[in-house]
């Protein structure tokens, strides 16, 4: 029985659209992440999962410890439900959430917030000034891990922190040390130009060579610079963790002595954008099904909905992938539609009204922003249906 038959049989009683997670595929992906981490703990990136029951399942597996949240309200909610060691990986400007954190010693002991400038510290101090008694706030410093060349004329990597050099990190650490009520506990440096950029893109040999050259040079530069930054900050603070990497760079980042843990999230679901890496091959685990509602021609069908576009620079790579049956493609001038999506290809000839077309999202966590429930499949059976954040009535962006 192939995957399409399994999924169709498992979900025969469900009415599409709906989303599923293949548990065997997710477990295989998780095991490979642990293998690639080579003994270093993996912090689970919640934005790529967005389901409390799934986060619990993942953290129960060997090799995973702690969460990387994306907003402070999310972290507070997770802590209230028993999750521990939560790093909020993005700076917050939520005054209400900061006051809640400062006023809750138990939550403050489990949550670390990220900053990259004295302005963040000023903002937090002002936000929590009236909180009494005030819990100590754990702080992580975000470091720019981007690659810069040609005297600054070329840059690869996300525009995140302004802190790039060891002396800049040391200055911020010294500033923080002089402010009561804060404790610097960690460093974060995410190399998006390696972890989030596939080095085997299809159809463009010159671009592939350029990406691989940039990533090689970036990795060499970063291992030295990150090590110097960590040494400079450790002279001023007793760091509990140094976090780096992501699904696409785990084995590279884990080799750095300065890094104590790596992060991963997309690797559990293995969305479409993670098909284009040489160093690992994942198993598509998270899918959504749309029903065939029209047959305009012999070799075309129309499915309900489907316009679940991924964030980032717009383009075809941000569209969901028609996955099963294989061989379907978008109509170039329509793409993925708000209400309906036409698809072309020989595979359409065998589809009938009511049949399912299975899609993969381009990214991981954004799938759960479109569905209240993930149906968990084991073999050819739905063994459990679990809520997403959306299904629990929680939105954090």
With beta carbons less than 8 A apart as the criterion, state whether 271 and 247 touch.
no
In this prediction, residues 8-23 reach a mean pLDDT of: 98
pLDDT at 345: 97
pTM: 0.95
As a whole number of Å, the end-to-end CA separation of the chain is 40
**pLDDT single digits (tens) 216-263:** 999 999 999 999 999 999 999 999 999 999 999 999 999 999 999 999
Q: pLDDT-based confidence at 69, cuts 50/70/90?
A: very high
Split at pLDDT 50, 70, 90, the class of 313 is: confident
Dump the DSSP string for 38-84: TTS-EEEEGGGT--HHHHHHHHTSTTEEEEEESSHHHHHHHHHTT--
Mean pLDDT value of segment 304-308: 94
| Residues above pLDDT 90, as percent of the chain | 92
- Decide which of 316 and 187 is more confident: 187
Residue 224 confidence (pLDDT): 96
Rounded to an integer, the average pLDDT of 67-82 is: 98
Say how far apart CA 303 and CA 190 lie, in whole Å. 38
Q: What is the mean pLDDT of residues 293-298?
A: 96
pLDDT, residue 315, reads 87
Q: State the pLDDT at residue 397.
A: 77
pLDDT reported for residue 1: 83
DSSP state of 24: H
**Which region, left, alpha or beta, applies to residue 71 given φ > 0 means left and ψ of -120 to 50 means alpha?**
beta
Q: What integer pLDDT is reported at residue 118 of this predicted model?
A: 98
């Amino acid at each position: 029985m192939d995957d399409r038959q399994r999924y169709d049989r498992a979900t025969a009683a469900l009415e599409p659209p709906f989303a599923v997670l293949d548990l065997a595929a997710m477990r295989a992906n998780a095991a490979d992440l642990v293998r690639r981490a080579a003994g270093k703990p993996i912090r689970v990136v919640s934005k790529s999962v967005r389901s409390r029951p799934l986060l619990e399942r993942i953290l129960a597996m060997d090799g995973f410890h702690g969460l990387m949240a994306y907003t402070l309200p999310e972290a507070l909610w997770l802590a209230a439900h028993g999750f521990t060691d939560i790093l909020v990986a993005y700076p917050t400007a939520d005054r209400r959430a900061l006051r809640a954190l400062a006023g809750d010693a138990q939550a403050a002991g489990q949550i670390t917030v990220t900053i990259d400038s004295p302005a963040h510290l000023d903002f937090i101090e002002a936000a929590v000034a009236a909180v009494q008694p005030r819990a100590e706030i754990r702080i992580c410093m975000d470091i720019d891990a981007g690659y810069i060349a040609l005297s600054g004329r070329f840059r690869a990597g996300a525009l995140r922190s302004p802190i790039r050099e060891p002396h800049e990190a040391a200055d911020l650490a010294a500033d923080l040390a002089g402010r009561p009520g804060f404790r610097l506990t960690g460093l974060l440096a995410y190399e998006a130009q390696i972890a989030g950029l596939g080095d085997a893109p299809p159809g463009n040999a010159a671009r592939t060579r350029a990406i691989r050259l940039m990533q090689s040079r970036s990795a060499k530069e970063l291992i030295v610079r990150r090590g110097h930054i960590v040494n400079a900050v450790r002279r001023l603070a007793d760091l509990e963790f140094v976090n780096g990497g992501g699904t696409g760079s785990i084995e590279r980042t884990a080799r750095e002595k300065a890094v104590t843990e790596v992060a991963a999230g997309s690797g559990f679901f293995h969305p479409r954008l993670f098909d284009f890496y040489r160093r690992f091959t994942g198993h598509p685990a998270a899918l959504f099904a749309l029903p065939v509602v029209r047959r305009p021609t012999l070799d075309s069908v129309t499915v309900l909905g489907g316009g679940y576009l991924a964030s980032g620079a717009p383009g075809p790579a941000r569209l969901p992938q028609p996955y099963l049956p294989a061989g379907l493609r978008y109509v170039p001038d329509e793409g993925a539609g708000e209400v309906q999506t036409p698809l072309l290809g020989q595979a359409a000839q065998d589809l009938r009204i009511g049949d399912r077309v299975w899609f993969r999202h381009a990214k991981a966590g954004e799938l759960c922003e479109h569905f209240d429930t993930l149906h968990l499949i084991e073999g050819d059976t739905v063994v459990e249906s679990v809520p997403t954040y959306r299904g629990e009535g929680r939105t954090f962006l």
